[in-house]
Structure 1
Amino acid sequence: MSGLGSRLFRGLGFWGGRVMLSRFEKTSARAVRANRNTLVKLLEANSGTEFGRKYRFAELAADPTGATYRAAVPLSTYDDYIEFVARMEAGEQDVLVADELLFFAVSSGTTGAPKLVPTTKKHHGFTFKYMGTVVQGVINRRLHRQGPSERGVDLMTFSGGQQMSSGGVPIGGATAEAVRRMARIVPHLWNSPIEVYTLADQPSAWYLHALYGLSNRRNQFVEAVFAPHLLEWLRAAEARWDELVDDIENGTLTKNLDIDDELRSQVMTLHRADPGRAAELRAAVAHGFDGFLSRVWPHMTHLMTITTGSFATYVPALQRYAGDLPIYSPSYGATESFIGVGLWPEHPERYVMATDPSYFEFIPVEHFGEAQPSTVDMEGIEIGRSYELVVTNHAGLYRYRLGDVVRVVDRFGEAPVIEFLYRRGTLLDLVGEKTSEDHVAFALSGLEGLVSPDELVDYTTRVDVDASPPRYVVYLELESGTVSNTELNRAADRFDQRLIDANPTCEGFRRNGLLGRPNLAVVAPGTFERLRTLIASGDLPTSASQLKVPRRVDDPRQVQLMSEAVIETV
């Protein structure tokens, strides 16, 4: 498509975003009925499946309130679907869902072994609907974009590979599949050619994304799925800045890349010497990299990445590079369902729930431990209370306990406005204290002056039941490599107090000698990159851009890797 065609394409996206945002707002005004209608349509569409016949979906669809459905169908977890999924892998139809499977998404496995999640065209389409239109409408309205956007830098990848099930159904990470199916429109949205997104070597991919991105002074955004990936790319660009600028100035390509001759030749075909741009780039960082993005790209309006929950830990370091540019957290979702849209960039923790990706239920926090707790739907939620989300989606999951715990902070029309708190599978719970991912992130955020937020590369935790009393181990990788033992001791004391402030239950157990002081352990540079490599080397293809560092490591190989990398501990 020509340059004019690309502008027309982006223009359609601009106006489509305005229309779809308006529709989303109107639907939110009647969210309770809209979400119940989603359930009725799901039950009708899947009434002929094996699961639908067993639970008499055709009859349940006659109740527009959803109460009969909630009473008849039990709550479920992934273990309840393992046998069904195995049959679907073999190619069997009409087991859980009537629609043909598009692929099996591989969950990131943050809270356990990777899971194969059935994905249909309709289920998959909600990500495109909301990210491609509604979110663009928010950007246009809230981030002062006055017209169709220019291109930007995007850091997704589909290098995780793809397998086929025995029945011929593709298996791959959901993010990778999204990009793979967008291949034809990538050149009209982002700088890098599609081949860069297939690179298995992440440092080489980071370099090429930076090379193409820095060459274009008109970029308006930089985006990555998760905040740590965006931060990692920015740090990589800073570390290789001179190399990048030299390549832009001379039209060359460094030999320090793990790419084949074919891609190198293609890059050289598209890459031209630009001494003027190189001079601009050198001037932009003459006094350092703080706030350099708006100097490098004068037309930039925002950074976009998910900063939900523990990812908020990375915001201070991102803000160092972003300066006054807003960091927009556009959406909240999981492999099993798209969930909500961030309508207010100034409140990145808040998301308005969508009504059509799934029928949503809510388990009150006091009933989490029950096997079949009672639930409420969007009508029954109360502002200020916390709930575990339950989804019935368009791909064969029925009353599925997602494990995500959210707090309802408001309503937008009738739609719940929620904040993600933590994922139940990542709780540190040695003696009944139930420390959450959110509690740990809060404690880490208070180490400024001891371990600066923009020094933190990444972190994870484990429980040490061999210690007496048992304790948490918090592994930290720092940009500077390490800190003195004295500083680390002070940081450990501060972390301990902040953790008690966040989760007062810990205090009683600490006082009674049932729970030990957390152990802070600084690991060698590059440890978390090795951890990601280890996780990605599993049996199932996992996209690098989808891969989240687990906030708790239990796998013996992961624990060994982290333990052997410790260079300072208290």
Structure 2
Amino acid sequence: MDLEELTSKAKQIQEEMLEEILRVNANTEYLRRFLHGSTDKELFKKNVPVITYEDVKPYIERVANGEPSNRTFRHFKGVEDGKVLAFLNTRPLYKILSGIPVAPVITSFIMTDYFKNWSSKCYASPDQVILCTDNNQSIYCHLLCALVQREEIVSIFAPFASTVIQAIKFLENIRSGDLSEWITDRGCRDSVSVILRGPNLELADVIEHECSQKSWEGMITRLWPNIKFVQSIITGQISQYIPILEYYSNKLPLISVGYSSSETLLGVNVNPLCKPQDISYTFSPNMSYLEFQEEGNNDEIVDLVNVKIGCSYEVLVTNHFGIYRYRLGDILQVTGFYNTPPQFRFVRRKNMVISVFMEVTTEDDIMKALNRARVVLESSGLMLMGFTCYSDISTIPGHYDFYWELKAKNFEGIVKLGNKVMVKCCCVMEESFNALYRGFRNKNDSIGALEIRVVQEGTFDYLMEHFISEGGASASQYKTPICTNSPEVLAILEDRVVARFFSDKTPPL
């Protein structure tokens, strides 16, 4: 561009320059105070103050002093100096017929030199605990190491939020501040014994005092007073654990940093402190080739930058390792753009639906209905600890069955299943479903009354342990199916049903 053209388009060039600056920097710590992530130019002129060097001096000094710009940790003071309670463990390697060793993706990462070189610097547990292949022994030892170093723990990490909930249950078994006799893994015993340095009566008294309280609300912050956040996957079907985590953690920030699969890393959360329900992931264009097929339109496939805001897509992955245009099975909705890459929120797994007639109830529909039912449960001092559901067509008409595991908020409280409360939960869920369901439900010969079957406490832990032992899956990657038609799963659940409830009225149209 020559001088004449440059000077004749000064206004346009200046406007485009501001647009580019805001696209790149709207989510920086400084501008977010005024723009809250917006790139609107008029909002910039209205809200961002005119400043001098003294106003930005603290930020410049932070850069000069070498402060890292990590998008998560920069929000919390002292995180770099503390330790992480990380619930990680491995599964045994096994070989397929060709002789190639196979392991879950987390196990493969943990076995790398890259992981081993820095894990001991930030994690409360020694590598021997992380390398333990027994899930129960590993969790117990993770907790014990973190309790001994309770003042140093600044965060909790687990691949899925369900693992944190499972770990809290293990606190019931830690009383003496010493290794229990059932910890037989030699690596765990030797490495943890070094940290414990014998029985710790002071620690035992602290644990005993906290765990003997009637309520376990805020237990995480009570045991680890300097903890600042919990980092885990909390989207999709895992979002069912958010209320339980908030209860135990005294509503600490729940952070979901990235969105990934076994096939590839897909994106990162550039606003890690957002509310769980507002999480969107910015797709990384440099990890794999990504294409998107719009839901309900099998004829058109678009590239990463050509998706449309508000539309839902299934992801197709082509990576460096021999996967080409692979259907990931996740349905995502475009929420915006960060520069040119799109931002998505996770909606549901494809085909993760239940139906008994002509209606379709999706994972998203189910989670919304459960969130409304939780409000009813909490008013009665109960928490939903786990669930799954299936389409029961053994009856005429067919109906939805939900298996619920409940727990009293008070630690030693008894789960009292009031008929009025449980029937209301059934009705509230039906009212939350879509118009097609409600319409067919009002026709008595189409869909029958929704049923909740309450199972014994520990049922979903047993289900997890069953499939880990049968299939060799990793506990840190296990997810209870949100809906199922597996005869094996249903048989396990049915054997533990303690009460049944039905909605007593049809939902409004």
Tell me what 1:475 maps to: 403
Verify: 1:380 aligned to 2:306, yes or no.
yes
Distance 1:262 1:375 in 2: 51
Tell me what 1:511 maps to: 442
Verify: 1:484 aligned to 2:418, yes or no.
yes
**Alpha-carbon distance, 1:333 to partner:** 1.7
Tell me what 1:457 maps to: 385
**Deviations 1:416-471 (CA, angstroms, capped at 9, x unpaired):** 11110100132113334221111111111112353239611111111112121112
Distance 1:413 1:347 in 2: 22
1:292/1:417 CA distance change after superposition, 3 Å: same
Tell me what 1:340 maps to: 267
Distance 1:339 1:393 in 2: 11
Distance 1:199 1:148 in 2: 26
Amino acid at match of 1:567: V
**Alpha-carbon distance, 1:202 to partner:** 3.2
**Alpha-carbon distance, 1:557 to partner:** 1.1
Verify: 1:222 aligned to 2:148, yes or no.
no
Q: Specify the SS of the correspondent of 1:305.
A: strand
**Alpha-carbon distance, 1:274 to partner:** 4.4
Verify: 1:442 aligned to 2:361, yes or no.
no
**Alpha-carbon distance, 1:306 to partner:** 0.5
Amino acid at match of 1:363: Q
Amino acid at match of 1:206: I
Tell me what 1:81 maps to: none
**Alpha-carbon distance, 1:356 to partner:** 1.6
1:454/1:258 CA distance change after superposition, 3 Å: farther
Amino acid at match of 2:231: M
Q: Specify the SS of the correspondent of 2:301.
A: coil
Distance 1:136 1:227 in 2: 26
Tell me what 1:78 maps to: none
**Alpha-carbon distance, 1:283 to partner:** 6.3
Amino acid at match of 1:328: I
Distance 2:196 2:124 in 1: 12
Verify: 1:175 aligned to 2:100, yes or no.
no
Verify: 1:166 aligned to 2:91, yes or no.
no
Tell me what 2:9 maps to: none
Which range moved further: 213-222 or 278-287? Answer: 278-287
User: What stretches of structure 1 of length at least 5 have no aligned partner?
Assistant: 1-24, 30-134
Q: Pick from 254, 258, 270 the counterpart of residue 327 of structure 1.
A: 254
1:534/1:27 CA distance change after superposition, 3 Å: farther
Verify: 1:403 aligned to 2:329, yes or no.
yes
Amino acid at match of 2:136: P
Q: Specify the SS of the correspondent of 1:310.
A: helix
Which range moved further: 512-521 or 279-288? Answer: 279-288
Contact 1:485 1:568 (8 Å CA) reproduced: no
Tell me what 1:39 maps to: none
Contact 1:485 1:569 (8 Å CA) reproduced: no
Distance 1:412 1:443 in 2: 31
Alignment of 1:54-453 (within 5 A): 137-141=70-74, 143-145=75-77, 148-158=80-90, 160-181=91-112, 182-216=115-149, 217-237=151-171, 239-240=172-173, 243=175, 246-247=176-177, 252-255=178-181, 257-260=182-185, 263-272=188-197, 273-278=199-204, 288-344=215-271, 345-348=273-276, 349-367=279-297, 370=298, 373-452=299-378
**Deviations 1:144-181 (CA, angstroms, capped at 9, x unpaired):** 236634221000211x3221123332211112222222
Contact 2:132 2:188 (8 Å CA) reproduced: no
**Alpha-carbon distance, 1:472 to partner:** 1.7
Contact 2:145 2:195 (8 Å CA) reproduced: no
Contact 1:221 1:301 (8 Å CA) reproduced: yes
Relative contact order higher in (CA < 8 Å, ≥ 6 apart): 1
Contact 2:440 2:447 (8 Å CA) reproduced: yes
Tell me what 1:542 maps to: 473
Amino acid at match of 1:240: N
**Alignment length, in residue pairs?**
422
Tell me what 1:57 maps to: none
Contact 1:318 1:454 (8 Å CA) reproduced: no
Tell me what 1:527 maps to: 459
Q: TM-score, normalised by structure 1?
A: 0.69
Tell me what 1:121 maps to: none
**Alpha-carbon distance, 1:309 to partner:** 1.2
**Alpha-carbon distance, 1:482 to partner:** 5.8
Tell me what 1:16 maps to: none
Tell me what 1:38 maps to: none
Which range moved further: 348-357 or 294-303? Answer: 294-303
**Alpha-carbon distance, 1:383 to partner:** 1.0
Contact 2:79 2:154 (8 Å CA) reproduced: no
**Alpha-carbon distance, 1:410 to partner:** 1.2
Q: Specify the SS of the correspondent of 2:296.
A: helix
Tell me what 2:394 maps to: 466
**Alpha-carbon distance, 1:205 to partner:** 2.4
Structural RMSD (CA):
2.7
Which range moved further: 177-186 or 467-476? Answer: 177-186
Q: Specify the SS of the correspondent of 2:438.
A: helix
**Alpha-carbon distance, 1:324 to partner:** 4.2
**Alpha-carbon distance, 1:285 to partner:** 6.5
Q: Specify the SS of the correspondent of 2:351.
A: helix
**Alpha-carbon distance, 1:506 to partner:** 1.3
Contact 2:405 2:456 (8 Å CA) reproduced: yes
Contact 1:482 1:568 (8 Å CA) reproduced: no
Tell me what 2:37 maps to: none
Q: TM-score, normalised by structure 2?
A: 0.76
State the percentage of identical aligned residues: 24
Contact 1:28 1:412 (8 Å CA) reproduced: no
